[in-house]
Homo-oligomer: A and B are copies of this chain.
Amino acid sequence: MVTENKIYYNNQLLSFDDVKLSLNDRAFKFGDGVFETIRINKSNIIWWDNHSDRLKHGLESLKIDYDLKKLYSKSKELIKLNKVQEGFIRISISRGDKSVGYLPLDECEASILIQTMPLRDVKFEAKNLWISSYRKIPDICLPSNAKTIANGLNSSLAKIQAVENNCFEALMLSVENNIAECSSGNIFWVKNNILYTPKNNLIKGIARAKIIELCELDIIEDDFKIECLEDADEVFISNISWLGLPIKSIEPLNYKYDKYLLCNIIRQKLLQNIEENHG
């Protein structure tokens, strides 16, 4: 539960309502920045190294210069100040606010926002997926494996469309018609005791990495067409919030599933890993 609402903005500790973002901030003007949402459990930051590595990769992909050194201690400090036991840390880094049009100026300095957020209440029950008409933005347009702010609009449009079609989440394909990922997580499926998950044009989720590390099954990461899901034994989706959520149907194709065993096991393994990751 979040009881206080302090944030860090460019190394200043402020109340949430006292932050003044620049109107020229390039995240606000052009989606020009990256972010991470990181799980907090019993006031500990979970899987920090994975998030930090992806943040670093995103900053490098966008050529944003920012030293990540003090991020961990500042995040820890904020969790303590806000008395967060369960929830999330959101870190967003914008290229800064000095530009002429799309071109950042040499004196443009990255700005950073660290905030805590409450845990989202998602029931562990079987969900339905909507195959979105919005495709994942290809890697040759925006770096796919970076959580860019701009990429958020693509995910948002897919999510809105899924909910309009009475589904929980959107399943997104690549422009090459391969299965990519969900609007806010990755997808896995099991067939004959082999675990499958897409490899390209997706954000490689931290929960995804942990599932691959912990699942104890043979895994095939590759490009797959949507038809591969038709006769899967079990399908589930993952992110650091859901961990694993079983899928009962994929619409509008009306693919149906009724086995949730592996998803349950995976979820327990991730919960256990979270408990062990208190450092």
Residues in chain A within 8 A of chain B (CB atoms): 7, 16-17, 19-21, 23, 25-32, 35, 62-63, 92, 95, 100-104, 113, 115, 120, 133-138, 140-142, 148-157, 159-160, 163, 175, 183-184
Report how far A32 CA is from B28 CA in the complex, Å.
9
Contact A29 B115 (CB under 8 A): no
Candidates B16, B103, B137; contact of A142 at CB < 8 Å: B137
**Cβ distance A127 to chain B, nearest Cβ, rounded Å:** 14
- Name the residue on B nearest A22 (C-beta): B21
Q: Known pairs A30-B152, A133-B140, A141-B141; list 14 more (Cβ under 8 Å).
A: A7-B23, A32-B152, A62-B153, A100-B120, A102-B156, A102-B160, A102-B183, A135-B140, A142-B154, A142-B157, A150-B150, A150-B151, A150-B152, A150-B153
- Name the residue on B nearest A33 (C-beta): B153
Contact B102 A138 (CB under 8 A): no
Contact A103 B159 (CB under 8 A): yes
Report how far A258 CA is from B103 CA in the complex, Å.
27
- Using A102-B156, A155-B102 as known contacts, say yes or no to A140 and B175 having CB atoms under 8 A apart: yes
Which interface residue of A102, A133, A135, A163 has the most chain B CB atoms within 10 A?
A: A102
Candidates B137, B140, B141, B149; contact of A29 at CB < 8 Å: B149
- Using A29-B92, A157-B62 as known contacts, say yes or no to A141 and B135 having CB atoms under 8 A apart: yes
Contact A31 B152 (CB under 8 A): yes
Candidates B16, B21, B102; contact of A184 at CB < 8 Å: B102
| In the A-B complex, the 5 residue pairs with the closest CB atoms | A31-B31, A30-B152, A150-B153, A150-B150, A102-B156
Report how far A56 CA is from B30 CA in the complex, Å.
19
- Using A20-B20, A102-B159, A137-B141 as known contacts, say yes or no to A153 and B7 having CB atoms under 8 A apart: no
Contact B21 A16 (CB under 8 A): no
Report how far A239 CA is from B74 CA in the complex, Å.
44
